[in-house]
Amino acid sequence: MLTSLSIKNYALIDHLHVDFNNGFTIITGETGAGKSILLGGLSLILGKRADLSSLRDKESKCVIEAVFDVTNYNLESLFSTEDLDFEPQTIIRREILPSGKSRAFVNDSPVNLSSLQLLGNRLVDIHSQHETLQLVDDAFQFQVIDALANVANDLNVYSQKRKEYITLNKALNQLVAFQTEAIKEHDYNLFLLNELTQAKLKSEELESLEEELETLSNIDAIQEKLTASNQLFSDEQIGVLNNVTELKNTLKQLSSISNKYEELYNRVNSSLIELDDVFSELERFQEDLEADPNRLQEVNARLTLINNLFQKHVVNSIEDLITIQAQLLEKVSATENVDADINTKKLEIAKAQQELDAIALVIHNKRKKAIPVLKIKLEAILAQLGMPNAQFNIVLNITNTYYPNGKEELNFLFSANKGGDFKPLKKAASGGELSRIMLAIKSILTQYIKLPTIMFDEIDTGVSGEISNKMADIMAGMSTTMQVFSITHLPQIAAKGHTHFKVYKEDVNEITTTNLVQLNHVERIVEIAQMLGGIEVSNSALAHAKELLN
């Protein structure tokens, strides 16, 4: 509920602070006294766009601050979503700077207008005869039906199931799109994969092949060098082995003379053993070495194949080709398996659709049961408000479309006269009738859900005295479960309020200022008497005012 409102430097308001109570609050005042200014200031708190022209003093900033008791409004999740600190006594402040910039704060945290509007919609509902478009809005009509049908939990389940259904359909569309695109590339990818698979690539074979090619290409030169090397080892005159053997024998003789020669002998003997082993290797290499034109052709062909694959796939290592082969295998397999994936996804969608249809049907049946109840209540209240022939035909049709709030389309059809045709509300009801219908609906909603503070702005325009009594009773009844404001010109409504404020203008130093003051019991009698009979208050008007208040 709105507990206090402060306005500084706004339009004709210099500085204003007022505290409000729960229940039914009346605001009265002469035409032009500034009631619309008060509403304009409150609208800024609720997220309306600021206008520099509203500054009273163009050199100073305008500050509007409202305090709300949000203890029972279940707004914790909204505060969390908007990254705001939740406080049971929430303070909203709006500032308009002389530069034209506007700032908004919730509990001293800066917020943007969209966040402020989200919060404002949950705190105050300003309703006037010119603001009944909400009544013909599908979302609002469903909100009314759903309040009576008590389907909030069912709608949460439906919303979750719908999200799952949409997600599954999106995944199916992605699979189908992938399939369409993959089919175009499948044959080529399969060709590339088969080419790489048939190549039977090994990660380290390139170095081995290049070495083998070098050997086979230079077989004669290698043979010549090996033969020369063997001769250097085995020649009887200058052969390495003979000379080193002779050296070993000489040192053997010296080692018998002195131990200091034995170490040299051992070293030469070790060298001779190593050289003999090298000679054996050379002989084996020479024996194994032979020209093999066929193998040379095979190696050349293998290297050509590998290099061609390098060029085709723009890589320079067999490891890269093996990686590409794995990727191609994955693509080809995915393409070949996508039919199975699509069928699986379709089965999942069918199951999700069954669950979605089931909860949608539960919601539909509950709504159908609620419609006659709403119809009876609405027509009964409207009869009290001077519309005895008002009739509703509320049509609920189930469709094949999954809307955010169910599978139905809703039509509020209305007839104000006996024997009249039922037509959509916006075509069948006048502004005054729409206003009374809205009042009836809001009064019914208070029996089922927690509504925000509501401010009725002269919805009683053009209403007779007897009907205004009924309107006042309805608003007073609503105020037992919520905070209700009524800006009115009718004494019958003003007398039913629990608290009464008067908006008035006064001239101070040739400057006109709008003020708001709470009236005591005596002041209320005078104010209501003036509303009955004009500025010159008669005894009969005072007596009538007292009677109304009693």
Strand pairing class (511-518; 499-508): antiparallel
At 104 the pLDDT is 94
Handedness of CA 301, 303, 306, 311 (dihedral sign): negative
pLDDT for residue 465 is more than 70: yes
At 236 the pLDDT is 65
Give the residue from 506, 495, 501, 497 showing the smallest Cα distance to 518: 501
- Amino acid identity, position 487: I
Instruction: Give the C-alpha separation, 33 to 38, whole Å.
Output: 10
Please spell the DSSP secondary structure of 285-342, one letter per residue: HHHH----HHHHHHHHHHHHHHHHHHHHHT-SSHHHHHHHHHHHHHHHHHHHHHHHHH
β-pair partners for 396: 410
What pLDDT, in 10s, does the model give residues 363-373?
999 999 999 99
481, two tokens: 């479960």
Q: Is 321 exposed, middle or buried (0-12, 13-18, 19+ CB in 10 A)?
A: buried
Weakest mean pLDDT among 52-56, 254-258, 434-438, 483-487: 254-258
Task: Give exposure, 431-466, as e/b (b: 16+ Cβ within 10 Å).
Answer: ebbbbbbbbbbbbbbbeeeebbbbbbbbbbeebeee
- Comparing 207 with 500, the larger pLDDT belongs to 500
Strand pairing class (89-96; 102-106): antiparallel
At 33 the pLDDT is 75
The structure tokens 């139905």 sit at 408
What pLDDT, in 10s, does the model give residues 271-290?
878 877 887 777 777 666 66
DSSP 8-class letter at 19:
E
Cα 140 to its chain centre, rounded Å, is 22
Give the alpha-carbon dihedral of 36, 42, 43, 47, to 10 degrees.
Answer: 170
pLDDT for residue 184 is more than 70: yes
The structure tokens 């050349």 sit at 300
Weakest mean pLDDT among 120-124, 199-203, 486-490: 199-203
At 349 the pLDDT is 96
Domains of the chain: 1-129+451-519 (3.40.50.300), 176-337 (no CATH)
